[in-house]
Amino acid sequence: MDSCKKDNSFVVMLKWDTMEEAHDKIKQKCILIQNVGNLLEKYQFGKTIVSYYRTGKLLLTEVDHIESILSKLFS
Per-residue pLDDT tens over the stretch 27-48: 999 999 999 988 999 999 999 9
Residue 75 to residue 55: CA distance in whole angstroms: 22
Statement: residue 6 has pLDDT above 70: no
Model pTM?
A: 0.84
Evaluate whether the domain defined by 10-74 bears CATH number 3.40.50.720.
no
| Domains of the chain, residue spans | 10-74
Q: Please measure the distance between the N-terminal and C-terminal CA atoms of the chain and give it in whole angstroms.
A: 20
Strands (E), 1-75: 10-13, 31-36, 40-45, 48-53, 57-61
